[in-house]
Amino acid sequence: MNIIWHEKTKQFHLFNDEISYIIAVNPVGELGNLYYGKRINDKEDMSYVVNRFGLAQVAVDADTETYSMELNRQEYPSFGTTDFGTSAFEVEISNGSKVSSFVYKDHKIYKGKQPLEGLPATYADDSEAMTLEIYLEDVVAKTTLALSYTLFNRYPVVTRHAKFTNIGPSKVKLTKALSACLDLPDQNYQWMQFSGAWARERTPIVKNLGPGSVSIESKRGISSANQNPFVIVKRPNTDDFIGEAIGFSFVYSGNFLAQAEGDTFGRMRVLMGINPDRFTWILEKGQSFETPEVVIAYSDSGLNYLSQTYHSLYNNNLVRGKWKNTPRPILINNWEATFMDFDEEKILKIASKAKEAGIELFVLDDGWFGDRDDDFAGLGDWVENPKKLPQGIPGLARKIESLGMKFGFWIEPEMVNPDSNLYRKHPEWALSTPGRKASLGRHQMVLDYSRPEVVDYIYGMLHKIISNAPISYIKWDMNRSLTEVYSADIPAEQQGMVYHRYVMGVYSLYERLRNDFPDILFESCSSGGNRFDAGMLYYAPQAWCSDNTDAIDRIRIQYGTSYGYPVSSIGAHVSAVPNQQTGRTTSIETRANVAYFGTFGYELDLNHVSHEEFELVKSQVQFMKEYRQLFQFGTFYRLRSPFEADQAAWIVVSEDKEKAIFGFYCMRSNVTMLPGFLKLDGLSADKVYVLNDEEYFGDELMNLGVTLTKLSNNGLSTGQDFISYVEVLEAKK
């Protein structure tokens, strides 16, 4: 890994064993991109890449009239001169002009990586990464810009963000401040986005790119289930196993924009950052604005490798604290078992039975506080309901602990019901626009987390409960989009800052609670997977993946999620059948076989399963205890896509390739097809693996494949839907 500055040619070359990123100061002093991709040798002068001929309509260098932005790849394109593509930012000055030209001034190269202020970001020590900060200035706007690039040593990854500072006497207005732009030299790419809705999160969708724009965005105040802030730009032939791909992952949990734009000269621009729609940021004299981070990863060997890069980077350089690389406790959550209809006795009965099965953590979901018997009331009043919990959270937590389990509970701290003491006292603390009716979602409003006093108040209430009880886990929910976004306490010109300040408020509360209670495992949640993003993983190392707990739907949801996020982050539970969302009945084996490839837990009352099923649950819990390190932190490969067929498969392989576990799922039986073969991946070619007492070479399993008739139950020929297999492979000593 190195970052070289070629003083004479004014070119930077960032490279590690896998990638090269070459940036140059262009003829007018702004930054251009010369190369991004597979590692190439370092050369002092790569300026032959720059186009200097007269095809362009307008040139920006008045002297020779041979340089135009629109014929050259930009690094962080500005608005208003000769780049007619989408700009990465807009700075509006007091005369109303947004034209800008940020010119190279200086730079700094250092080992390691600096944290971003108040924002989640990947981190690295001096041996893990190097950082380049390039300082630019617009003399008319009297604003400086620092572009940061961190190159990781062991990953084909560069992270980027930008920081604007007003160094003049008058205020300036940022009306757009994206985090990263990558201009690519051709348009032979496809765009892959992860779209969906509640209960159908992160479906991969592929589109061809060419001239014109393709984009996804969120305007909901959260990253959303509708579009995930992660996209892949790939070659048309790239699949999970072969081909070139570039990933863009936004370490942010609010409104975002991701866009690919092909111009008429064959250039492809990819942009990512905070959605400029509904964003303005006022910079008074001396003030700065720092954008969140984008993680750009490269693969020339397929999407599995790209995903593995994100998995490993996020496990090692994004997740922090006690739960970093720590296998997760097997939990039981009472939500689908009781909803809000419970009391302490009922909860203890569920917990006792779970303990008998070997489950380690009990999670009390929604309904324990305020007047919360249904979803019309109570949010905002974080005090226990004595009718349900006579000795409060501390009493219940201690009883659960005396059973030999850990205890955790659910909160939704960003919300308030109009029917709550908090709202009656502070209606102005809810986001709403003067003179307009507030839209409700699940009968609740969103608290104005852009106001520090609101965050302080909620912090005080939660801190009190958590510090009075043995709490090991918190599920932090968030169940509606932001609407009528307006903060009562700030001037009109600052209203465009509220969305981002809201997100910063959420991050600040997470950070305070994490600092106060570093051992607590946080799980983020937002009506299931509405805020499943890299930003959240910095605070909460796992996220409830979806409210859809149906095993068959979950195969697709978890498969789609795996493109950008590690198995260790995917909250997955075995729930009751018929499934509450789909009405589908699947076996308890299949439900567990899907949930193993996640954080694993149960979401049902085990008092209500048959004796045989309970015995199976016991063995599932044992099995997960034995293999959770491998499931959650092994190298994960997608093998067969449920979006392309009625079957799905994936595998996790240990680092030393001595052990592997694959999951194979038949979503619909097909009586006339031969069972066929499943090609595995990631094994050591020459090792001999034992599978169901038979021996196979690694290369045999990866090229010929596993003969499906060799699986227990004789492969697929039982004529039943929803059959699945999870099989362990061990290398022979």
Residues at the contact surface with ligand DGJ, assessed by CB under 6 A: 335, 365-366, 410, 477, 479, 525, 527-528, 544, 547
136 neighbors 88 (Cβ within 8 angstroms): no
Q: In terms of CB distance, is 317 or 527 closer to ligand DGJ?
A: 527
Q: In terms of CB distance, is 132 or 474 closer to ligand DGJ?
A: 474
Q: Taking the complex as a whole, how short is the minimal distance between the CB of residue 372 and ligand DGJ, in angstroms? A: 9
Q: Taking the complex as a whole, how short is the minimal distance between the CB of residue 89 and ligand DGJ, in angstroms? A: 36
Helix residue ranges, H only, 244-380: 303-317, 335-338, 344-356
571 neighbors 544 (Cβ within 8 angstroms): yes
SS3 695: strand
- Token pair for 3: 């970052």
Length in residues, the chain = 733
203 neighbors 556 (Cβ within 8 angstroms): yes
Examine the residue annotation and report whether 477 is marked as an active-site residue of this protein.
yes
- Token pair for 715: 């492969």
Q: In terms of CB distance, is 72 or 420 closer to ligand DGJ?
A: 420
Opening angle at CA 237, ends 232 and 241, nearest 5: 75
- CB contact burial 196-219 (16+ within 10 A = b; e otherwise): bebbbbbbbeeeebeeeebbbbbb
Opening angle at CA 246, ends 17 and 127, nearest 5: 35
Strand partners, 272: 180, 258
**Residue tagged active-site, from 183, 263, 477, 533:** 477
Strand partners, 415: 446
Q: Within 10 Å of residue 62's Cβ, how many Cβ atoms?
A: 8
Q: In terms of CB distance, is 510 or 664 closer to ligand DGJ?
A: 510
Element (H, E) at 703: helix 698-703
- HSE-CB of 39 using CA atoms within 13 angstroms: 14
For residues 32 and 25, what is the distance between their CA atoms, to the nearest angstrom?
A: 6
Q: In terms of CB distance, is 231 or 458 closer to ligand DGJ?
A: 458
**Residue tagged active-site, from 547, 550, 553, 681:** 547
The closest of 520, 401, 515, 516 to 464, measured between CA atoms, is 516
Q: In terms of CB distance, is 528 or 663 closer to ligand DGJ?
A: 528
Helix axes 588-595, 611-633, angle to 10 degrees: 20
For residues 78 and 86, what is the distance between their CA atoms, to the nearest angstrom?
A: 9
Q: Taking the complex as a whole, how short is the minimal distance between the CB of residue 474 and ligand DGJ, in angstroms? A: 12
Q: Taking the complex as a whole, how short is the minimal distance between the CB of residue 378 and ligand DGJ, in angstroms? A: 11
Q: Taking the complex as a whole, how short is the minimal distance between the CB of residue 366 and ligand DGJ, in angstroms? A: 3
SS3 445: strand
Q: Taking the complex as a whole, how short is the minimal distance between the CB of residue 326 and ligand DGJ, in angstroms? A: 23
Q: Taking the complex as a whole, how short is the minimal distance between the CB of residue 539 and ligand DGJ, in angstroms? A: 17
Q: In terms of CB distance, is 44 or 374 closer to ligand DGJ?
A: 374
Q: In terms of CB distance, is 11 or 479 closer to ligand DGJ?
A: 479
For residues 257 and 274, what is the distance between their CA atoms, to the nearest angstrom?
A: 6
Q: Taking the complex as a whole, how short is the minimal distance between the CB of residue 438 and ligand DGJ, in angstroms? A: 20
- Token pair for 657: 């390739």
350 neighbors 605 (Cβ within 8 angstroms): yes
* Phi, psi values for residue 644, rounded to 5°: -110, -20
The closest of 427, 73, 126 to 262, measured between CA atoms, is 73
Q: Taking the complex as a whole, how short is the minimal distance between the CB of residue 365 and ligand DGJ, in angstroms? A: 5
Examine the residue annotation and report whether 61 is marked as an active-site residue of this protein.
no
SS3 618: helix
* Phi, psi values for residue 627, rounded to 5°: -115, 10
Q: In terms of CB distance, is 138 or 366 closer to ligand DGJ?
A: 366
Opening angle at CA 519, ends 514 and 521, nearest 5: 75
121 neighbors 204 (Cβ within 8 angstroms): no
For residues 27 and 578, what is the distance between their CA atoms, to the nearest angstrom?
A: 67
Q: In terms of CB distance, is 547 or 727 closer to ligand DGJ?
A: 547
The closest of 207, 221, 216 to 258, measured between CA atoms, is 216
For residues 389 and 247, what is the distance between their CA atoms, to the nearest angstrom?
A: 47
Q: In terms of CB distance, is 275 or 333 closer to ligand DGJ?
A: 333
Q: Taking the complex as a whole, how short is the minimal distance between the CB of residue 525 and ligand DGJ, in angstroms? A: 5
Q: Taking the complex as a whole, how short is the minimal distance between the CB of residue 572 and ligand DGJ, in angstroms? A: 12
Please state whether 66 falls in left (phi above 0), alpha (psi between -120 and 50) or beta.
Answer: alpha
The tokens 């709202």 sit on which residue? 423
Q: In terms of CB distance, is 75 or 477 closer to ligand DGJ?
A: 477
By beta-carbon distance, which residue lies closest to ligand DGJ?
366
The closest of 526, 515, 499 to 413, measured between CA atoms, is 526
Q: Within 10 Å of residue 133's Cβ, how many Cβ atoms?
A: 16
Q: Within 10 Å of residue 367's Cβ, how many Cβ atoms?
A: 21
Q: Taking the complex as a whole, how short is the minimal distance between the CB of residue 83 and ligand DGJ, in angstroms? A: 43
Catalytic residue annotation: 477, 547
